[in-house]
Structure 1
Amino acid sequence: MADGGSVSVTRLEFPMDWPPGHVAAFLVDADERILVDAGLPNTEASLRDGLAAADLAPADVDHVVVTHPHPDHTGQIPTLLDAGDPTVHAPASAVDRLNRDADAVRERSRANLEPAGLPEDQLDEAAETAVASLERARSLLPPDSVDDAVDPGEPLRVGGVEFDPIHTPGHQADHLCYAATLGGDDVLFSGDMVLLPFRSALLHDGYDDGYREAVPAFSDALDALAARDVDRTYPGHGDVHARFAETVTRDRAKLNGRVDKVEAAVADGNRTAAAVVDAIQAGHDVRYVLPETMSILAHLVDAGRVERTVVDGTARYTVD
């Protein structure tokens, strides 16, 4: 437990199957008990054990502050709602996104995926995955369970703590980091941004139409973060750290490096998004590599670094 004057922060860890092997939530014990993010589905025991270490139970949580609606950050919200009556604070744009029509998401995702050059079975699977992700996200964070739709830039006072929500899209389009001053330190609850183990993937809007904006959105997020002074970062993966500025700089370099790598793969003769994924995948889960690759290719086209033509319904990319 890290002392913040009259406020303490306790890290709760939830096991998961992929690196770094966990996701974290943070209990902020101030005038009221605030949980920033809420772990994975099927990890109720970890939630209870983490709270018990602070002599609390799920019913004692007064507020849940959500960084973004990915399941590893909202998974135990149903447990908290069943146990008590916490006030749920979540990004306003996420509430709108969770209310999207599933059939419309399927249609737009399929339309965006069709030019990628995937085999038909993979195309169907990817489009259905987009719908399943939406439905799972809103089962864990039902839009009508959100009491406070948070707008970035508007001060958020919760349980005696004043948070400054910062819009940090790219990994996820609605993602908010929450800055606060605790015990004289400027801290950041960063969700899936500014992680020591890795740069978070460009998932932004999945395969929906926003995928084209993911690279500039992530760059804008890094600009917004770079303008901040942060003494301590509380991330959703990896250790709490005091390496904020260097991690933001690293993430920018890694993003630029990934863009260059995709451009180089096209220059090497990989003409479709599917072919680029095969060239750069290196053992990574295609569910994360494909949306990032599609987003980077769209950015390269917009930047004039790659040319796109459509042949028999498949987008083909070339570098002059």
Structure 2
Amino acid sequence: MQIEDIADGIHLVQGSAVNWIIVSDADGVTLIDAGYPGDHADVVASLRAVGHSLDDLRMILVTHAHVDHVGGIPALLERVPVPVRTSFEEARHARREYLQQATPALVARNIWRPGAAAWAAHVLARGGTRAVVVPTATGAADREPLAAPGAPVPFVVAGHTTGHTCYLLAEGKVVVTGDALCTGHMLSRRTGPQLLPAFFDHERDRAVASAETVLAGTGATIALPGHGPSYHGPIADAVAAALGGKPR
């Protein structure tokens, strides 16, 4: 686990294969995503590492309801029953009214990719095949600041999942991109702005279009991705670099 201090009260935590973000102010802590089920102990440890505890948690936000991003939420809610928010559509996904996630068969068809065997083993070790449901997830209005520490502003960047949600922080200077834009992954041989392999996306064409229009238009200058280190620079440049080298 590595923790990047991004700005006052904003920390990017890089877990063993996926990230989560800690946002804090005088009112407490907002946690954005929570890793795999097996990342629970690391999530708790990361809160302590930045001077907080579970008792300070006020809200959990979800970028999208894939198991590597929501897997740690049920165990957290057992200890601290805080609200879970995301877009209205992604809340349905988190409640498992439907599931948009790469199937074991689809993963098997992509095992030829460099690093895929190690990634698959890691997924199994971290509980990535468990059925994870967040029944209390509720929707939030697009572009409306949330009444949560750090006042995150959610907005939909659809494609990776139908309701995939990004968040603006620090008065729009920082954007949490989830899996709409990453800077590394166990299946990638490079670092820097990039899209995940296409088989992870529910609608690849929509993911590309949303990144190019919605995400690039935010004007943020720091991106906190779901996988890989932070990106510092105009978000439009990051999106252009990612789309220029989009993987299959």
Q: Which TM-score band (shorter chain)?
A: 0.7 to 0.9
TM-score for the superposition, normalised by structure 2:
0.72
For residue 168 of structure 1, report the CA deviation from its aligned partner: 1.2
Match of 1:275 in 2: none
What does 1:231-310 align with in structure 2 at a 5 Å threshold?
A: 231-243=221-233, 244-255=235-246, 258=248
> Given the alignment of the two structures, is residue 150 of structure 1 paired with residue 146 of structure 2, yes or no?
no
Matched residue SS, 1:162:
coil
1:168-218 per-residue CA deviation (whole Å, 9 max, x = no partner) reads 122222211111335xx611011112222331233343xxxxxxx531343
Q: CA RMSD in A?
A: 2.8
More helix by share: 1
Are the aligned partners of 1:61 and 1:80 in contact in 2 as well (CA < 8 Å)? Answer: no
Q: Percent identity at matched positions? A: 23
Of the three residues 217, 220, 224, the one matched with 1:227 is 217
Taking a change above 3 Å as real, the CA distance of residues 229 and 87 of structure 1, as seen in their structure-2 partners, is same
> Given the alignment of the two structures, is residue 140 of structure 1 paired with residue 132 of structure 2, yes or no?
yes
For residue 166 of structure 1, report the CA deviation from its aligned partner: 2.2
Please say which structure displays the higher CA radius of gyration: 1
Match of 1:194 in 2: 181
Match of 1:12 in 2: 13
Are the aligned partners of 2:62 and 2:85 in contact in 1 as well (CA < 8 Å)? Answer: yes
Matched residue SS, 2:212:
helix
Ranges of 4+ aligned residues in structure 1 off by more than 6 Å: none
What does 1:152-191 align with in structure 2 at a 5 Å threshold?
A: 152-153=142-143, 155-182=144-171, 186-191=173-178
The 2-side partners of 1:138 and 1:63 are apart by 23
Are the aligned partners of 1:171 and 1:200 in contact in 2 as well (CA < 8 Å)? Answer: no
Kindly indicate whether structure 1 or structure 2 has the higher relative contact order, using CA contacts under 8 Å at least 6 residues apart. Answer: 2
Are the aligned partners of 2:14 and 2:227 in contact in 1 as well (CA < 8 Å)? Answer: no
Structure 1: which 5+ residue stretches go unaligned?
16-21, 119-135, 206-212, 259-320
Taking a change above 3 Å as real, the CA distance of residues 164 and 51 of structure 1, as seen in their structure-2 partners, is closer
TM-score for the superposition, normalised by structure 1:
0.57
For residue 138 of structure 1, report the CA deviation from its aligned partner: 9.5
Of the three residues 53, 56, 64, the one matched with 1:57 is 53
The one-letter code of the counterpart of 2:145 is L
> Given the alignment of the two structures, is residue 23 of structure 1 paired with residue 10 of structure 2, yes or no?
no
